[in-house]
Amino acid sequence: MKRILPLVLIILAVALSLAACSNSPEPKTETTGYPYPTTKMIPVVNDYHGTKITDNYRWLEDASTEEVQAWTTEEEAFTHSITGPLPQRAWLEERFNALWRYDDETVPHPVLDGERLFYRTKKKEDEKWVYMTKANADAEGQVVLDPNEWDDTETMGGSSASRDGKYVAYGVAHGGDENPIVRVMVTETGELLDDTLRGWKQSVGSWLPDNEGFFYTCKPLEGEVPEGEHEYWHAAWYHKLGTDASEDVMVFNDDEVKETWHGAYLTEDAQYTIYYRGLFNANELYFRKTGETGELIPISTEMENEYGIDIVDGKILITTNKDAPRKMVYITDVDQPERENWKVFLPEHDKDKLTHISAISGYIYASYSHNTYSVVKIYDLEGNFVRDFPFPTIGTGNVSGRWNSDDIWVSFSSFTYPPTTFKYDFDNNSLEVYREFPVEISVDGVVADQVWYPSKDGTRISMFIVHKDDLKLDGTNPTLLYGYGGFDISMRPRFSTTALTWLEAGGIYVVTNLRGGGEYGREWHEAGMLGNKQNVFDDFIAAAEYLIDKGYTSADNLAINGGSNGGLLVGAVTVQRPELFKVVLCAVPLLDMVTYHQHGLANIWAEEYGSSDDPEQFKYLQAYSPYHNIRQGVKYPAFLVTGGENDARVDPLHARKMAAALQAADDGGGPIMLLINKSSGHGGGTTITTRISQQAEQRAFLMDQLGMGVPGK
């Protein structure tokens, strides 16, 4: 059990550090009543295209220094002094243990050449999933890899079985760092081969037939590229089994743009190899017959739109958003890939967004987003409509399988429908339950309403409000509003156990579909990116105002939460409209939008946000950057900002700097608190125990600030 420092010791530590730091501001104790740790200011001035900006907390960016580590320890001691004693925390830990710990098993999938199956299991007492195999469907299961026997911080970072299942290539990552080191083992015996790979952040893709070797991707090691660029120059390689990594061959890369990503993978029948180069919102695609070494055959080369490709039975199906914001599908013969030979297979829908197509058991399953929930339509390979897919209700579903297999698997959930796996009987057009959610839970009386509200510029935004059916619109309901709004990512109606606990405690849970997301197509996304990013914040603010105006809640009863790009969202609305929210959970966020692109791999996001290196983009980045728009003497809402110690995507420097600046500026609000989660990455801890502890502490803080007690007490 972690030891929580008594409040009196924290106050004493603050007083001692004050005496040692003459250039530090007085801690806010009289106005706020919170004994924040002493944080010195060291002004650093930079000139951006004629605009000078002073950064008082640049020194907090380097987590390797003892000074920053000591400051972070003090900040976390202050945070734990508040969250540690909360009774809601103990209740949440108990509920999460009940809801997250159970015997579970994934769908068993056969290898591409043979009967061997691979799947994962997790016992109630396990902290991590176990990788399993069977020689065939009737055989007894065998453990391939059990990460529960590894160090607590070690996790499987992806796995890829050979086409016959004889070998498994798997990665081991540490503490959520997303840097798996790949090894190859013999499935039956567990013997590790001597094979190793090049670079870092290794990821294995397709194996070639007859176990000749496999494709993989990685980034270059430090020293192989200019200083500071080893986070970029991602490339696809080929490794021949039994050879040294120095003999691996680079098969697809980019010599000019360091931010692009690459991949090489085989079609299901192994007849063709697909080559991918992409950014977030555009990509190039090529292919050729597997084993050939001639010129790649282009599908798309302009790097201006999105393309996807499926090759089945001599046909190429091409999904794209070029001239089709909600996407469409073309078809052509594999020996006539030139664009002039493409024919429309599925035209763009007049309202719904095509999310993807899947070639399964002889048919094409086209998945659409209709007002954010799933609709799947089935077609034959000639483009004839067969039928709509029979999902059990409105929600989020996915249909998966292979072209040359009869097994059709379906995963489905909604706000009021726990996750369920089905097998689909095509002939009878029926669903058979394969696995229900294994924990007994009740959703009786839970209602999910989809509403539409106007944003600042009049654009209609959709939103889901999840609540008990005895809801009273008297403005007193503790409400948690969640949003994301970026990177073409959709917020769909899915079941959430964390949302369920919020409802059990008497709250309302709300998810809003902001511009910048992918719910309604390319135009919806572009309306919330680059110079349009303020639309996302306006949409979220309008959601809060709608909830208040309609009597669902009030500013004193409203909590907001977002992570990563969603952390940027809640950080921005906090400094723009601090009076509108009572408490904020800002997780693994980007917050310094003027310098974000200078840290780690973050320049890959310039496609979404822009870069302060560009004079015009600097103007709007500075205008909304949460860190740069904190105002002195403002009463800010209670604010908990988190980071991951090993976050490979967003450096926790954003969280540290934001906490320091808000603590110095706040006047009568707060508390302003910081948590840098240890041995954790962008998605949190590596074990169930760690994730339960982290989530319980954060959610308990929200509940406490809204006056939500422990249910039944």
E-strand spans in 553-670?
558-563, 583-587, 638-644
Q: Is residue 564 flagged as an active site residue?
A: yes
Residue 31 and residue 667 in contact, taking contact as beta carbons nearer than 8 Å = yes
Residue of 81, 162, 564, 611 marked catalytic: 564
Which residues lie across from 317 on neighbouring strands?
310, 331
Contact 704, 673 (CB under 8 A): no
Strands (DSSP E) found in 226-352: 235-240, 249-252, 261-266, 272-278, 283-289, 297-300, 307-312, 315-320, 328-333, 343-346
* β-sheet bridge partners, residue 638: 583
**Distance set, CA 248 to CA 37, 162, 169, 216, 236 (Å):** 52, 18, 15, 10, 10
In angstroms, the CA 467 to CA 503 distance is: 7
Backbone angles phi, psi at 638, to 5 degrees: -55, 140
To the nearest 10 degrees (0 to 180), the angle between helices 87-100 and 688-705 is 140
For the chain, how big is the Rg over CA atoms in Å?
A: 26
Q: For the chain, percent helix, then strand, then coil, each to nearest 5?
A: 25, 35, 45
Q: Write out 186-219 in H/E/C secondary structure.
A: ECCCCCECCCCCCCEEEEEEEECHHHCEEEEEEE
| Spatial distance between the Cα atoms of 172 and 156, rounded to a whole number of angstroms | 5
Reduced to 3 states (helix: H, G, I; strand: E, B; else coil), residue 244 is coil
> Which residue is catalytic, options 206, 234, 682, 693?
682
Amino acid identity of residue 545, one-letter, is E
CA distance 394 to 408: 20
What count of other Cβ atoms lies within 10 Å of the Cβ of residue 199? 19
Is there a cis peptide before residue 671, judged by omega within 30 degrees of 0?
A: yes
Catalytic residue positions? 564, 682
